[in-house]
Structure 1
């Protein structure tokens, strides 16, 4: 269950102010149809993070545990640094084609926006770190929905009540803790807490 809780909370925090949250605002203001947008976000995230989780699980079986520990520890710390760099979404580069409908446009744009994004890389790392790939994928998807569903319903008014910098700092802190816990095998000391 730790894999789910850590994955969902980390991604929910990481998504605050992320380009996909900005995309959710943009889609909601353009289409004003929250249910197909939420369903599109869910499907796109499950597919994208399912792929990422599979890569993480594959890596954990491919690399020796000691090498994997160092790769993951350094990756989590690198994610913490990356988390502090704000994302921007260039709305003019996103075209909304009516032939795909609201659901299709949302699926396609969210899937593409997540390719190589922080949360996709984090999903790979967490799936390699935790031996519970399905829980990581469900957790990162839940985190994505926790961050984006309010964006779809409340739009930009909601965003102004939170400091993206503070939220990204908290998420970066979690990644640093995960990195340190991984590098120093803290989970052995605390019975698998991390």
Structure 2
């Protein structure tokens, strides 16, 4: 349970203004089936973050034990600084849209998460904490907390949240997690 709260907070805050949140806004504008979009986000996130958490747990086995806190701490800080860089709105593949809201969301969301800040954060969190289940649960819930409101009230909500505040808050959270990873050896 120790991994759940940092995982949830890290992803929920980092996701604000992220390209996958913009993708959710795009999908909500394209499809009326909000529940299918949300289910697609859930399935894609579970698959993507499950694989990412497994990778993080596997990688930490091959790194010398004394290096782990420093690598994890530096990685958290790097992701924190990365969060300050706004995402570009990538071109979405219109070919998958013909398969409907659920399939299109699963495919596009899974692809958009590859190499994304929240995926990298999931790898780092899984390397930091011993509980894959709680990391995956936390990052998935964080993703859902950030995207479900967008699916339902996207354009209105995006106008109300100051993205700079969200980015700086996420940066601060990742930097604190990085420092704690280094000093709590």
| Structure 2 spans left out of the alignment, 5+ residues | none
Aligned to 1:178: 177
Q: What displacement does 1:99 show?
A: 4.2
Q: TM-score, normalised by structure 2?
A: 0.96
**2:75 touches 2:178 (CA, 8 Å); kept in 1?**
yes
**Structure 2 CA distance for aligned equivalents of residues 154 and 176 of structure 1:** 31
| Structure 1 spans left out of the alignment, 5+ residues | 189-194
Q: TM-score, normalised by structure 1?
A: 0.92
Moved over 3 A (4+): 96-99
Aligned to 1:191: none
Counterpart mapping for 1:131-170 below 5 A: 131-170=130-169
- Secondary structure at the aligned position of 2:70 is classed as helix
Q: 1:106 to 1:93 in 2, by over 3 A?
A: closer
Q: 1:120 to 1:45 in 2, by over 3 A?
A: same
**Structure 2 CA distance for aligned equivalents of residues 121 and 73 of structure 1:** 13
**Structure 2 CA distance for aligned equivalents of residues 60 and 178 of structure 1:** 17
**Structure 2 CA distance for aligned equivalents of residues 93 and 103 of structure 1:** 15
Q: What displacement does 1:96 show?
A: 4.7
Q: 1:128 to 1:98 in 2, by over 3 A?
A: closer
- Range with greater deviation from structure 2 (62-71 or 101-110): 62-71
Q: What displacement does 1:93 show?
A: 3.7
**Structure 2 CA distance for aligned equivalents of residues 140 and 94 of structure 1:** 26
State the number of aligned residues.
185
**2:96 touches 2:107 (CA, 8 Å); kept in 1?**
no
Aligned to 2:46: 46
